[in-house]
Chain A
Amino acid sequence: MPTDLAIQAKGLVKRFGSVVAVNGLDLGVEPGITYGLLGPNGSGKTTLVRLLLGVILPNEGSITVMGRRVPDRVLRSQMGYMPQSLALYEDLTVTENVSFYARLMDAYSPPRVEETIQLVDMASRARSAVSTLSGGMKRRVSLACALVHRPVMLFLDEPTVGVDPQLRAQFWDHFQRLNQQGVTIVVCTHVMDEAERCTRLGLLHQGRLLAEGTARELRARAGAETLEEAFLRFSSQ
């Protein structure tokens, strides 16, 4: 079935032993937007992202990304992933980490690596070992590793944990610019003001999509003042 959706998932089920992490989930994400996944701890956000990336396979259901059935090796080089954990080599420098991931994606060039490090404002520490950086700095490097090959689709699992407010705003400005360039972003977050900046939101609860829409739509539907309140109302239904 032809579709102009960037991501289309149908009837996704993922079980880990007796735990059902994703429980019959349908999802559609249009290209060039930022889609926010909200939900309490253990609601299945990370699992969903890993399924969309093809890192793990669903027990049931199917996923299509940019018209290709997941998992697909061609897709992998067009997707960027910032896992919830830092996923960096602590004994290597910032430049070495970013270069390594660039090489893996067959997109290595020294200027590009340098540019990406500048983008996350880490140029002054480019030669430092990651183990010597602060928590927020490590996050920035982790983002750089996900961006360096200029992916068409970006999956960010809580990208701004430990990042200071100023830099967090810069991150989101950059995400917006990427959207304008046609990059589709899926981002997991617990931060409500970040959720406000997403084009669309999906509220996850126990592996299911409780509600979906823009921040304004969700607030209106729940009759709530804030997104937080809306989310609490949806979950208690």
Chain B
Amino acid sequence: MSHQRGNTEKRSMNPKRIAAIALRIALQFRRDHRTLALIILAPIVVLSLLAYLINLRGSPMTVGLAMEDASPPVERFSQELRRLPLFNVRDVARDQVEGLVRSGEMEAAVIIPQGYALRLAGQPGPDLEVVVDGSRSRTAPVVLQGLAQVSLRLAAAQSGAALSEPKVTYVYAGPQYKALDYFAPTFIAFFAFFFVYLLTAIGFLRERAYGTLERLAASPLTKAEIVLGYMLGFGLFAMAQAAVILFFTVYIIGIHYSGNLLIVFLIVAVLTLGAVNMGIFLSTFARTELQAVQFIPLVITPQGLLAGIFWPIPDMHIVFQGIAHLLPLTYANFALQEVMVKGKGVLDASVAADLGALLLFAAIQVALASIGLRRATT
């Protein structure tokens, strides 16, 4: 903690002092049942919600069908449409469509115009018209998927090849199931970072507010010992949390998991090192606990949005891709996905590179935290 001016003996690190801090944090944590429950329950609640939402099929959607072409191919098309479990089809007339959708009586309507049979036969002709209630994001994709399924079935029937039904269903449910597998790694990283940042920032703020930092400053503790002690103390709980998330997602939600647990913990440890130091650094800019919480939208939310958790990074605008590659959560996310979903090891080039990036981020944060510590004590 002191500002060395050369005349002291070499800055050897004292493992006992590091352990003293880690032990103290663990003791404080053990007493704080609410926080303890929170770091375990919060990820479980969020993951359960996500699992539910992602696998959500919903009740069949009421869809209106206005048939203006009554030729046999179109008749077959409409029969297939009625057969889809996704839809609850009601016959309507074109001029009723807008009113019914607007009133919410049906979520969407499909109009089959006169001459659509030509289109079905592969000739130029008018195309289907779809009217959707734009207020629900699921409507349009589900209707379009349904129509695509119908076309697929018809095409299969026409060419004589029997396209098996389960395969067609897979078009709908398949990709979403896979997405869930990617959520577990992502959430281990996100929650580890989030809670370690928050707890360190608040822990440090208290250390300042209650004057205990003053005593630490007057003790032989070095900055490195403080940082390591904090990392060890909070890191242990981050690991426990990672273990719970892993267990929950693998055994309760039932994701596919093929990784090595030790590597998962290694990645979490390196991520935690960065988060502890970021917490220390940012806490020196906050005067109250509320202010430390107010940093969340600034430092945590962008990471949640840009680190490839909900949207794939390659789909983003080039500027946001650049930002994403500056965020530690991006690398933790990549590394954990490689390890957990694909079963890669630490020696795998991409995992090693991600770990390297995380170490670099931690190193930058260590430097910032020691500047912050100096600000806080002088």
Q: How far is the CB of B6 from chain A (nearest CB, A)?
A: 9
Interchain CB contact (< 8 A) of B210 among A57, A79, A89: A89
Q: How far is the CB of B176 from chain A (nearest CB, A)?
A: 44
User: A71-B5, A103-B17 given as contacts; is B210 within 8 A of A76 (CB)?
Assistant: no
Task: Determine whether B216 belongs to the interface, using a CB cutoff of 8 Å to chain A.
Answer: yes
User: A72-B7, A90-B210 given as contacts; is B218 within 8 A of A55 (CB)?
Assistant: yes
Interface contact A74-B9, CB-CB below 8 Å: yes
Interchain CB contact (< 8 A) of B17 among A71, A87, A104, A145: A104
Interface contact B8-A74, CB-CB below 8 Å: yes
Chain B contacts for A108, CB-based, 8 A: 20
Residues of A within 8 A of B (CB): 50, 53-57, 68-69, 71-74, 76-77, 79, 81, 83-92, 96, 100-101, 103-106, 108, 129, 145, 155
The interface size bin for chain B is 35 or more
What 6 A-B pairs are tightest by C-beta distance, nearest first? A85-B211, A103-B20, A87-B211, A71-B2, A81-B218, A76-B220
How far apart are the CA atoms of A171 and B8 in the complex, in Å? 34
Residues of B within 8 A of A (CB): 1-5, 7-9, 11, 14, 16-17, 19-21, 23-24, 27-28, 31-32, 210-212, 214-222, 377-378
Interchain CB contact (< 8 A) of A89 among B14, B28, B214, B221: B28
How far apart are the CA atoms of A100 and B31 in the complex, in Å? 16
Give 13 A-B pairs besides A76-B219, A145-B215 with Cβ atoms closer than 8 angstroms.
A53-B218, A57-B378, A71-B2, A72-B7, A73-B9, A74-B220, A83-B215, A104-B21, A105-B219, A106-B16, A106-B17, A106-B220, A129-B31
* Highest count of chain A CB atoms <10 Å: which of B8, B19, B24, B215: B215
Interface contact B16-A87, CB-CB below 8 Å: no
How far apart are the CA atoms of A67 and B81 in the complex, in Å? 93
Interface contact A89-B211, CB-CB below 8 Å: no
How far apart are the CA atoms of A50 and B2 in the complex, in Å? 12
Interface contact B20-A100, CB-CB below 8 Å: yes
Chain A contacts for B16, CB-based, 8 A: 103, 106
Interface contact A87-B214, CB-CB below 8 Å: yes
